[in-house]
């Protein structure tokens, strides 16, 4: 039997596993990445895109912390666009279509070159413990690897079962090897698991689609990049997505085929993604709606693969029904399916068993990240993987781990929701989940999170110096605008009038002018330019900070009050049964979720503010100083 020793072991080479392994090894821990199939590193088994509302915020936060998904996206981008630009500065974000092979190649190259990291193709089948602490893993090949921390990033491979109509078989994402034994090991150790479902769409051959019946969408005309330090570029018009729709004929085929869907026959009873439903789910939820929007998304530029993903058209219907559905779409009369759509059931770990560091509450040194925690999406997975990798590295060294609050970022909201509310359906990040989203904008992710990335060792000197110079330029311009007045004149008022803005009649602070309707930073810059012109993203940050200064300050006060509750910690093994007057439902929920603070307790569904007040009194009375 082969034996070896590491400080951190990462199980799974998907989006979460890649980020976890890179983070742990870069922090300085000797790390092993166990991957079922190295050819599927950072695989995109569903849509070939990264970003969008909330998801794009997560990618930017990964960049700010020193992770890689933003750079992998920039290295593989085919088309990129801003979304939600008309809905306010808090929710706008980038979304990019990616060449999935280039995306995978980027991560594979990084992993293979990374110091302190060994990659090995094998399957973990058993978690090994020393008392209540991780001691390592046993693999299918009979090898034993010792470690002080283990990060599970198994995605949908655990207990995976694929469904295509009435045909079902054990599998990871179509054709991949599933992994079952490791989850049997976890259940034997007392961890609670459940089953979820996700679906994907058929892939078509681009040459067999008549795209004249669709509407093209190209990349933005402005230079863009996901990565904070990335070189922005304008993308050529040699790639487009194609907007289309289903037809009444599609609806009729669904009517005739639904009785054959595994969602109807009962072969699949696991919860699927509420916010990314299959075409069958849409039919069941909206039976009177006979037309739905879809998007044809090629997986490469001209000259690459001919494979096309169909956004909003995932299905697990039988293959013959899929052919009929495809042929009913505009321009798809002769379209050929390269890969059928399918549904996949898989095992997940109920995430309320994890602490806010993503470490198990019952097994010290065991971390979980990604879809195994009940989330959906590449972005949610990568963000969790980065945090789990950081904390596994810190745990292995005996150092204090990182906990992000709900006002620190979307990642903080994501982890808090999972660990205090759990989930019974695939969790997807939305801007509406974030009560402090004005504080957690796309443009200030670096200010919020890069100091953490720097502190743990993920941001080097060059990038840190570039950031600090950027912050100095922004702060200097905010100070200039806050202390410089513009004199009223006919010439100035003419410019304001032409822009649709109110005139000024006295010396007016430039910062105050920015809060006026139809006044932009570009106008202010032209009227009284700074000594050195700001870059576009710097100018956007300055304008946002000044235009919404009052709202931002109010939001900071609200977040501060919540953080004060998060800083009142509940002692470990606290006796909730001893809290007099507490409702039984609150007591049961607190016993189940074991919150670390009063703030977390308050966010648990079913726990009332009155019971949290009683808990606070009980905690104070339990302290030695109170006796």
pLDDT tens, position by position, 477-534: 999 999 999 999 999 999 999 999 999 999 999 999 999 999 999 999 998 999 999 9
203-343: what fold?
Answer: Elongation Factor Tu (Ef-tu); domain 3 (2.40.30)
Query: How far apart are the C-alpha atoms of 578 and 285, rounded to whole Å?
Result: 46
Does residue 27 surpass a pLDDT of 90? yes
214 Cβ contact list (under 8 Å, min separation 6): 242, 243, 244, 296, 330, 331
412 Cβ contact list (under 8 Å, min separation 6): 404, 405, 406
Query: How far apart are the C-alpha atoms of 421 and 429, rounded to whole Å?
Result: 14
What's the mean pLDDT in 320-343? 97
* Per-residue CA distances from 402 to 342, 395, 408 (Å): 38, 10, 12
Structural domain 3-70+107-200+346-456, CATH architecture: 3-Layer(bba) Sandwich (3.50)
Does residue 241 surpass a pLDDT of 60? yes
Query: How far apart are the C-alpha atoms of 627 and 623, rounded to whole Å?
Result: 7
Per-residue pLDDT band at 608 (split at 50, 70, 90) = confident
Structural domain 568-626, CATH architecture: Orthogonal Bundle (1.10)
Lowest mean per-residue pLDDT among 72-81, 186-195, 398-407, 556-565? 556-565
* Per-residue CA distances from 365 to 133, 361, 362, 385, 400 (Å): 6, 9, 9, 15, 13
Contact 11, 34 (CB under 8 A): yes
**pLDDT confidence of residue 561:** 85
Q: Where in the chain is the domain with CATH 2.40.30.260?
A: 203-343
**pLDDT confidence of residue 427:** 94
For 400, which DSSP code?
P
121 Cβ contact list (under 8 Å, min separation 6): 34, 35, 36, 37, 38
The number of residues making up the chain comes to 627
**pLDDT confidence of residue 274:** 82
Q: Where in the chain is the domain with CATH 3.50.50.60?
A: 3-70+107-200+346-456
Task: Using DSSP bridges, classify how beta strands 203-205 and 144-146 pair: parallel, antiparallel or unpaired.
Answer: unpaired
Half-sphere exposure of 377 (CA within 13 A, CB side): 26
**pLDDT confidence of residue 627:** 46
Query: How far apart are the C-alpha atoms of 165 and 251, rounded to whole Å?
Result: 18
Task: Give, to the nearest 10 degrees, the angle between helix 378-396 and helix 55-65.
Answer: 30
Q: State phi, psi for 33 to the nearest 5 degrees.
A: -105, 115
Q: Where in the chain is the domain with CATH 1.10.10.1800?
A: 461-555
Does residue 4 surpass a pLDDT of 60? yes
Half-sphere exposure of 523 (CA within 13 A, CB side): 21
* Digit-coded pLDDT (tens) for 354-394: 999 999 999 999 999 999 999 999 999 999 999 999 999 99
Per-residue pLDDT band at 624 (split at 50, 70, 90) = low
What's the mean pLDDT in 581-604? 88
Q: State phi, psi for 335 to the nearest 5 degrees.
A: -65, 140
Instruction: Tell me the pLDDT of the chain averaged across its residues.
Output: 94
The C-alpha R_g of the chain, in whole angstroms, comes to 26
Query: How far apart are the C-alpha atoms of 443 and 542, rounded to whole Å?
Result: 10
Does residue 464 surpass a pLDDT of 90? yes
Give me the CATH code for the 461-555 domain, please: 1.10.10.1800
Query: Is residue 198 classed as helix, strand or coil in its secondary structure?
Result: strand
Comparing C-alpha atoms, which of 162, 172, 130 is closest to residue 147? Answer: 130
Q: Where in the chain is the domain with CATH 1.10.150.570?
A: 568-626
Q: Computed from CA positions of residues 419, 423, 427, 433, in that sequence, does the dihedral angle turn out positive or negative?
A: negative
């Amino acid at each position: 039997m082969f034996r070896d020793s590491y400080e951190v072991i990462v199980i799974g080479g998907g989006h979460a596993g890649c980020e976890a392994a890179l983070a742990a090894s870069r922090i300085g821990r000797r790390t092993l990445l166990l991957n079922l199939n190295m050819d599927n590193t950072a695989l995109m088994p569903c849509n070939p895109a990264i970003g969008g509302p909330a998801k794009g915020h997560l990618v930017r936060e990964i960049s700010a912390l020193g992770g890689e998904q933003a750079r992998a996206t920039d290295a593989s981008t085919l088309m990129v666009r801003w979304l939600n630009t008309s809905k306010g500065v808090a929710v706008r974000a980038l979304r990019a279509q990616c060449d999935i092979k280039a995306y995978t190649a980027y991560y594979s190259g990084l992993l293979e070159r990374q110091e302190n990291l060994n990659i090995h193709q094998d399957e973990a089948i058993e978690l090994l413990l020393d008392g209540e602490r991780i001691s390592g893993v046993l693999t299918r090949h009979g090898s034993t690897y010792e470690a002080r921390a283990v990060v599970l990033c198994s995605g949908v491979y655990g207990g995976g079962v694929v469904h295509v109509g009435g045909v079902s078989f054990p599998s990871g994402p179509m054709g991949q090897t599933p992994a079952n034994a490791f989850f049997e090991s976890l259940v034997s150790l007392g961890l609670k698991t459940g089953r979820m479902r996700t679906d994907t769409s058929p892939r078509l051959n681009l040459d067999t689609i008549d795209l004249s019946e669709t509407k093209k969408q190209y990349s933005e005309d402005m230079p863009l990049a996901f990565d904070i330090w990335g070189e922005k570029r304008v993308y050529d018009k040699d790639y487009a997505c194609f907007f289309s729709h289903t037809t009444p004929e599609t609806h009729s085929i669904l009517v005739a085929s639904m009785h054959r869907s595994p969602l109807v026959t009962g072969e699949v009873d696991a919860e699927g993604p509420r916010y990314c439903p299959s075409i069958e789910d849409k039919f069941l939820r909206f039976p009177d709606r006979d037309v739905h929007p879809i998007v044809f998304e090629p997986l490469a530029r001209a000259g690459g693969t001919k494979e096309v993903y169909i956004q909003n058209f995932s299905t697990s219907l039988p293959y013959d029904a899929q052919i009929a559905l495809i042929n009913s779409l505009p321009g798809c009369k002769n379209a050929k399916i390269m890969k059928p759509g399918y549904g996949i059931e898989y095992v997940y770990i109920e995430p309320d068993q994890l602490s806010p560091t993503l470490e198990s509450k019952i097994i010290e040194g065991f971390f979980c990240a990604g879809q195994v925690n009940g989330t959906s999406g590449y972005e949610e997975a990568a963000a969790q993987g980065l945090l789990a990798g950081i904390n596994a590295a810190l745990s292995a060294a005996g150092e204090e781990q990182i906990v992000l609050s709900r006002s620190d970022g979307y990642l903080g909201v994501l982890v808090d929701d999972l660990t205090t509310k759990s989930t019974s359906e695939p969790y997807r990040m939305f801007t509406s989940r974030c009560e402090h989203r004005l504080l957690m904008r796309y443009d200030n992710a670096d200010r919020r999170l890069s100091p953490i990335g720097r502190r743990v060792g993920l941001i080097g000197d060059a990038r840190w110096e570039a950031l600090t110079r950027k912050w100095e330029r922004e702060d200097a311009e905010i100070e200039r605008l806050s202390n410089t007045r513009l004199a009223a004149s006919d010439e100035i008022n003419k410019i304001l009038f032409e822009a649709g803005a109110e005139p000024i009649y006295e010396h007016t602070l430039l910062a105050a002018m920015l809060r006026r309707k139809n006044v932009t930073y570009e106008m202010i810059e032209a009227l009284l330019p700074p000594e050195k012109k700001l870059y576009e993203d710097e100018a956007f940050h300055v304008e946002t900070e000044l235009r919404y200064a009052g709202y931002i300050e109010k939001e900071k006060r609200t977040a501060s009050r919540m953080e004060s509750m998060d800083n009142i910690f509940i002692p470990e093994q606290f006796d909730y049964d001893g809290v007099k007057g507490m409702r039984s439902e609150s007591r049961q929920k607190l016993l189940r979720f074991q919150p670390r603070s009063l703030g977390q307790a308050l966010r648990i569904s079913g726990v009332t503010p009155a019971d949290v007040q009683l808990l606070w009194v009980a905690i104070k009375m339990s302290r030695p100083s109170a006796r």
